Structure 1
């Protein structure tokens, strides 16, 4: 099988959507409460750190950006910070980030603000060069999910039911076929499942 010159050579950057979530599928309980997850085990924290290190660019919606930027810019200066938290804070500051919001006026810490069409910008970023893209925040990820842009889902499921809140998945207009590529258990009954989108 041969390609025309240059065809089939450019690979699109992978877009990964990964979050902590409850067994009944919520990333936050009612009132944006994320206290159900508790402090992560060292093993789980190291896994998340590895994911962040492997990322070429992180995409945030407004709520998740405000949560992350309220702590991690100085997370390595907290009195009880573990070596992993110190490394996470430094990596967080160094990793390029994009925040999608029409209500935030300015952002810092190696971050660019996008106020326009999120799907168009994510599509443009995927077509560029660089490492994998990570996306976080239910509203932003939901828009990317509906547009068929997400290549991998990483569900870090905690053994708790909240009965409501902000769902990890959004409503979709059609089916999305997935391949299971990894399962792993962490202390405290936390289970990781990673799925890749099966492109038709």
Structure 2
């Protein structure tokens, strides 16, 4: 069975808005590129899909914008070429190597997990909450930024039940950010 990993940048006070943390640097871009490359496919809600597509889809010219350095280009190539699944009640079609997931989100994602292959990766805010509530997330990966945002959407706000986690890995960045990875704790009867 494929592992579903939820990864997101988050501030110390739990804000997960994409502009709330530290600006990306080469080290963090390399890290996220490696994460994209580890996944067989990405699972997005509509908002995250549209945001990522607008930022990281290869332009029609085939040339990446001049503002991108080597680390950004590597990330852009990894995410641009990745297989994507999109959960949306409002989109009729998608492209950018993507397919709409139809029907109940839990059932659709469970089917993806049961297909042969390697890891699945989910990002965003609302879709991961729905998947966590259904017990479908196998790993949680948070890149915690040394920032107090003070406002904005917070991580997994509205979770219906407590999920206990056990640490799996940790990595510190030169910026002071820390990547921590957890798995749900298995409770024994």
TM-score (norm 2): 0.90
Is the CA contact (8 Å cut-off) linking 2:22 and 2:145 kept in structure 1?
no
Provide the secondary structure at the position in 2 that maps to 1:85.
Answer: helix
Cα distance in structure 2, aligned partners of 1:68 and 1:164: 22
1:26 is matched with which residue? 15
2:2 is matched with which residue? 13
Q: 1:61 aligns with which of 29, 42, 45?
A: 45
What is the RMSD of the two structures over their aligned residues, measured on CA atoms? 1.6
Cα distance in structure 2, aligned partners of 1:176 and 1:41: 32
Alignment of 1:184-199 (within 5 A): 184-199=171-186
Q: Which has the larger radius of gyration?
A: 1
Gaps of 5+ in 1: 1-11, 29-33
Is 2:25 aligned against 1:41?
yes
Provide the secondary structure at the position in 1 that maps to 2:175.
Answer: helix
Gaps of 5+ in 2: none
Is the CA contact (8 Å cut-off) linking 1:102 and 1:116 kept in structure 2?
no
Is 2:150 aligned against 1:166?
no
TM-score (norm 1): 0.85
Q: Counting helix residues as a fraction of each chain, which structure ranks higher?
A: 1
Residue by residue over 1:99-157, the C-alpha shift from the partner in whole angstroms, topping out at 9 and shown as x without a partner, is 10111232111100124211110111111111101011211100110001111111101
Is 2:130 aligned against 1:143?
yes
Cα distance in structure 1, aligned partners of 2:112 and 2:158: 24
1:72 is matched with which residue? 56
Cα distance in structure 1, aligned partners of 2:136 and 2:157: 13
Structure 1 moving runs of 4+ over 4 Å = none
